[in-house]
């Protein structure tokens, strides 16, 4: 057989793959370029300018929404990661026990239902509670975000745990370490990259949510994505491009970090 016959070659596949990568990135690149456009219209190029970033920065609605997004994201990410870590410890490295399958199903449930259905369900449920309690703060959004972040935080933590065998923990127990001390000194440090990955994943997921937030939020509780959705519906200015660009930068930074943390095998 000819020496240049590659068993891995399939005609046209490389071309399609190349197209895919170009198509994935091209719109994002165009969006970023237009964030630096001096023109007010989004259809022509008026020279390089940072004025849209400046105008976004001076827009109190944008700043408010950003801070709210961070606040909800941080609280939801920390809570969901703690709960997911506990749940992962309870559902891995064990023989099957009654209720284990139920737990898997329950933890992954938010992934199985279309977001719009969960959003509607929460709208109904929380509007009842609002009437009963009179409370209409950020608590609802935080609860909703924590719930749908749990399965995402759970994934990398569980994956990490499953690759850790029990020998070190058993050795610690043999040496009279209390269960808490074993957890604190052995399990937690080994699990840490998984927990960190889960935390970042949860934060990004919370930060990106549009649908559930849009339905659950009360008046004046816009997060950055719901604020942007409202703006885009009203008509677009390069300010949205500027906000998007800053948002993208943050996401890429977190994902890059996530990638390195979850790839690290020590």
Q: Is 2 in the site for other proteins (CB under 8 A)?
A: no
Site for other proteins (CB under 8 A): how many residues? 94
* Start-to-end CA span in the chain (Å): 44
Among 25-33, 52-60, 167-175, 190-198, which window interacts with other proteins (CB under 8 A)? 25-33
CA pair distance 184, 15, nearest whole angstrom: 51
Among 53-61, 75-83, 156-164, 191-199, which window interacts with other proteins (CB under 8 A)? 75-83
Site string for other proteins, 30-69 (x = CB under 8 A): xx--x-------xx--------------------------
Tell which one of 2, 4, 27, 134 touches other proteins (CB under 8 A).
27
Token duo for residue 256? 């890059």
For residue 143, which of 214, 215, 211, 75 has the smallest C-alpha distance?
75
What angle separates helix 224-234 from helix 60-91, to the nearest 10 degrees?
A: 130
65 CB burial (10 A radius; 0-12, 13-18, 19+): buried
CB of 260: closest distance to other proteins in angstroms?
A: 10
Residue placing its CB nearer to other proteins in the complex, 38 or 252: 252
Tell which positions 154-193 bind other proteins, by CB under 8 A: 154
CB of 215: closest distance to other proteins in angstroms?
A: 8
Tell which one of 97, 135, 163, 264 touches other proteins (CB under 8 A).
97
CB of 73: closest distance to other proteins in angstroms?
A: 12
Tell which one of 40, 166, 251, 257 touches other proteins (CB under 8 A).
251
CA pair distance 25, 14, nearest whole angstrom: 17
Q: Count of H helices and E strands in the chain?
A: 12, 0
CA pair distance 5, 2, nearest whole angstrom: 6
Tell which one of 3, 23, 58, 234 touches other proteins (CB under 8 A).
23
Q: Tell me the residue length of the chain.
A: 266
CB of 168: closest distance to other proteins in angstroms?
A: 19
CB of 39: closest distance to other proteins in angstroms?
A: 12
Is residue 248 within 8 Å of residue 32, measured between CB atoms?
yes
| 28, 35, 238 from 24: Cα distances, Å | 8, 18, 21
Tell which one of 74, 78, 123, 138 touches other proteins (CB under 8 A).
123
């Amino acid at each position: 057989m000819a020496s240049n016959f590659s068993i891995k070659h399939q005609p046209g596949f490389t071309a399609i793959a190349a197209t895919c990568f170009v198509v994935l990135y091209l719109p994002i690149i165009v969006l970023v370029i237009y964030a630096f456009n001096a023109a007010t219209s989004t259809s022509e190029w008026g020279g390089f300018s940072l004025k849209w970033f400046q105008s976004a920065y001076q827009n109190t609605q944008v700043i408010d929404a950003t801070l709210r997004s961070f606040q909800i994201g941080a609280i939801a990410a920390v809570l969901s990661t703690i709960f997911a870590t506990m749940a992962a410890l309870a559902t891995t490295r064990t023989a099957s026990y009654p209720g284990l399958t139920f737990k898997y199903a329950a933890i992954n449930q938010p992934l199985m239902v279309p977001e719009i259905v969960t959003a509607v369900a929460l709208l109904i449920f929380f509007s009842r509670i609002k009437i009963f309690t009179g409370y209409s703060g950020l608590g609802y959004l935080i609860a909703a975000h924590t719930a749908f972040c749990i399965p995402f935080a759970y994934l990398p933590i569980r994956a990490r745990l499953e690759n850790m065998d029990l020998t070190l923990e058993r050795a610690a127990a043999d040496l009279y370490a209390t269960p808490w001390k074993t957890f604190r000194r052995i399990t937690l440090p080994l699990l840490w990259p998984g927990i960190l990955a889960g935390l970042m994943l949860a934060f990004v997921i919370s930060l990106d949510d549009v649908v559930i937030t849009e339905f659950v939020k009360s008046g004046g509780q816009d997060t950055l994505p719901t604020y942007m959705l409202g703006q885009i519906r009203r008509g677009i200015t390069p300010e949205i491009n500027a906000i998007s660009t800053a948002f993208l930068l943050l996401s890429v930074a977190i994902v890059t970090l996530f990638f390195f943390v979850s790839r690290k095998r020590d």
